[in-house]
Homo-oligomer: A and B are copies of this chain.
């Protein structure tokens, strides 16, 4: 069974609306002409389980149970059922979705598989984003990767904005960076993952993903919301795409940021990504550069971890917030920084080193007060970006 919590602002007749959803988002009404189908029709009806008032807000939360036979074990048909037409009916927000364990997909690799690929088991992973986001050549990308890779980076990703553009076609970016990855492997034995942004119309995107993997891509990045959960599912279920899929939250705010409409971040970036086949999920950290609710962040983390999906709190991450992140997450987290690595005063390699210095200090329980820091990459980072 599938259960969904809808939040209605005070003033909305939640009992009535809950009934509208349970019936209107499933069978609809029928008359005597369908009396002979009564049993079958009833099986497909939704059911109002309860309606409760939130103490602090006066909002009402209605819980509806939907038959699993109405949907196709995927996120897209689920979205249509739980909020398709009703999303246009007035103020209401989907704030929780509870799915059976076996609903949808599990990650092919997830936390365990990504750690195995990197052979790193006992610390958070450090991830960078190519910056500037657009306008660099494939060779520029390779040069940046070289800098950060030898400094100890685990993972790098394209900026989500970088598609398959003339200035740096996706396959050429991969080929240029793949040389660096191979060289690092040969010289140091370390594996670097490069999450290549896959884009295009659904058919082309899937073809491109397979081509990239054949050409040596060892991770992919997908903007799930602009491209569709059906595309994530196709990638995740594709045996030839045997690399981790990193998902980006681009456009999530259009669904999730409004207080009385849409779907909660924890549902879209937590529940749905975790059942949609993602291996690692990026989302805003509440102490980062985007406004984000700490409670929603915890829910996302828990949804992802419960299905072996790597949480990647992002946006405004820099070395000075590592103590806070490790405090919240422990070791099973990917520290993902764009400018927080690339714009380090002493260059991108120093940006990576600053993260590793930070991790070491956290492990030893040492302070991040400026005066306690030795000169070096971490101190320069904390001087620039501060600490939490």
Q: Name A's B-contacting residues (CB within 8 A).
A: 25-31, 33-34, 37, 40-44, 69-72, 74-77, 79-81, 83-91, 94, 131-137, 140, 159-161, 163-167, 199-206, 223, 225-231, 233-234, 237-238, 248-263, 284, 290-292, 315, 338-339, 343, 347
Distance A193 CA – B257 CA, assembled complex (angstroms):
39
How far apart are the CA atoms of A21 and B160 in the complex, in Å?
15
Question: Cβ of A27 and Cβ of B251 under 8 Å apart?
Answer: no
User: What is the distance, in angstroms, from A318's C-beta to the closest C-beta of chain B?
Assistant: 15
Contact A223 B80 (CB under 8 A): yes
Q: This chain: how many copies in the complex?
A: 2
Please list 8 pairs of residues, one from A and one from B, whose beta carbons are closer than 8 Å in the complex, sorted by A's number: A28-B338, A30-B131, A37-B136, A43-B135, A84-B223, A84-B226, A84-B250, A88-B253
* Min CB–CB distance A243 → chain B (angstroms): 17
Q: Which chain B positions have C-beta within 8 A of A257?
A: 87-88, 90-91, 258, 261-262
**Beyond A30-B131, A257-B261, 5 extra complex contacts between A and B, CB < 8 Å:** A34-B132, A37-B137, A84-B223, A85-B160, A88-B249
B231-A132 in contact (CB<8A): no
Is B88 within 8 A of A252, CB to CB?
yes
Q: Are A77 and B261 in contact (CB under 8 A)?
A: no
Residues of B within 8 A of A343 (CB): 29, 31
Q: In the complex, A231→B132 CA distance in Å?
A: 30
From A71, A201, A249, A256, name the one whose CB has the most chain B CB atoms within 10 angstroms: A201
Q: Nearest chain B CB to A213's CB is how many angstroms away? A: 15
- A250 and B201 within 8 A (CB): no
A88 to B81, CA, bound (A): 25
Docked CA distance A247–B229 (Å): 17
Closest 4 CB pairs of A and B: A228-B228, A87-B253, A84-B250, A258-B258
Contact partners of A81 in chain B: CB under 8 A: 161
- Nearest chain B CB to A307 CB, angstrom units: 18
Q: Which B residues are CB-close (under 8 A) to A69?
A: 165-167
CA distance A184 to B142 in the complex (A): 64
Contacts of A263 in B (CB 8 A): 254
- Taking a contact as CB atoms under 8 Å apart, the answer to whether A132 and B41 are in contact is yes
